[in-house]
Amino acid sequence: MIRALLITCLLTQLVSAQAPAAGKDANLVQQLGQIYSGWRSAVVRKDAAAWQRFTSTTRLASIKNRLLSERRSFPNSFFDLPASPPTLSSLKALRVRVKGPTVKAVYFGKVDFGIGGKPSDNLLTISYVQERTGWKYDGSEFINLSALPDVRKQIQGGDYKYVDQPAFQPDGIVKKPPIVLTGAAKYIAKAYVFCPGREVKLLVNKISPHTFQNTKEAQIVLGGARDGNNEVQFTVKDIPGGDAKAPMTIRIYLMSQIEGTQPIKAFEYQVTDGKAPEKSGVQRFFITPEMTKNLR
């Protein structure tokens, strides 16, 4: 993440739903709602051209990277979604904050993804970035409050302090993807890490960065794996309060496009219980013709 030196000088504006916003603030709130509605309509209609107009350049690049790394088409594969984006018509805007070229808008209410059932009151955060042609949709996050019933009651009662935390505020930074792929990956690959009590950072083939913190998770490798030589750079850091003697595993799997075919473990770095991992290192793995016979 690259932090601009002048962040502290950028103006932070707060628009609360409890009082009517005036002037340019009210215009901005209305404009952002129109942008999201246009973006949502394009997604529902599967209108690739309109979707790209409403979406930020950095987000488009990130989506393109992921789809091509999964050997899927861009932009058409984006519309293979399990649910529809929720409408804002039934939601209440709690906070809309601007910091430099970034905005975060926080909504509360019955967030409905159109999959049936009876939606309950939850939070939806929408991010925007400002580009040369205006504000663009830059992603959203759904926060299910089922495990936080007290927070849900607070918000229902008009106490919005929960959404005043830093996680709900823009940082003024336009994040850019490390690369922009131009073609599909040769082989689909995933980085798997099991790291209780630790933070593990990977860089695969010098283009695919990954961060894992106290988790068991798999992430798609940008650009996939290549024939022959591949590289994994890693760093390991203990998390305060974690078990420094816990086991740890780093793996790279090759994912087959043939239904029913199991992933192939192409790389493994493992630390057994009681041993300390290397703090950093560079290791290599090789993709042979024999390994790729059943990948697609």
Whether residues 153 and 240 share a domain: the answer is no
In a domain, 70, yes or no: yes
DSSP character for 215? Answer: S
Whether residues 11 and 146 share a domain: the answer is yes
Q: How many domains does the chain have?
A: 2
In a domain, 235, yes or no: yes
Q: What CA–CA distances, in Å, run from 239 to 168, 215, 244, 247, 248?
A: 24, 12, 8, 14, 13
Domain boundary among 168, 198, 226: 168
Whether residues 192 and 116 share a domain: the answer is no
Q: State whether the Cα torsion 281-282-286-291 is positive or negative.
A: positive
The strand pair at 188-194 and 134-143 is best described as unpaired
Can you tell me the distance from the alpha carbon of 149 to that of 151, in angstroms, rounded to the nearest whole number?
5
User: How confident is the model at residue 286, as a pLDDT?
Assistant: 97
pLDDT tens digit sequence for 227-237: 999 999 999 99
In a domain, 117, yes or no: yes
DSSP character for 292? Answer: T
Whether residues 162 and 238 share a domain: the answer is no
Tell me, what CATH number does 20's domain have? Answer: 3.10.450
Whether residues 13 and 156 share a domain: the answer is yes
In a domain, 85, yes or no: yes
Domain housing 75 = 7-168
Whether residues 124 and 202 share a domain: the answer is no
In a domain, 175, yes or no: no
**What global pTM score does this model have?**
0.84
Alpha helices (H) along the chain: 23-45, 48-54, 57-69, 149-156
In a domain, 176, yes or no: no
Burial of 17 (0-12, 13-18, 19+ CB in 10 A): middle
DSSP character for 221? Answer: P
Whether residues 158 and 89 share a domain: the answer is yes
pLDDT tens digit sequence for 197-244: 999 999 999 999 999 999 999 999 999 999 999 999 999 999 988 887
Digits of tens for pLDDT over the chain (296 positions)?
Answer: 333 322 223 323 333 333 333 345 667 778 899 999 999 999 999 999 999 999 999 999 999 999 999 999 999 999 999 999 999 998 999 999 999 999 999 999 999 998 888 899 999 999 999 999 999 999 999 999 999 999 999 999 999 999 999 999 999 999 888 889 999 999 999 999 999 999 999 999 999 999 999 999 999 999 999 999 999 999 999 998 888 788 999 999 999 999 999 999 999 999 987 788 999 999 999 999 999 998 98
In a domain, 73, yes or no: yes
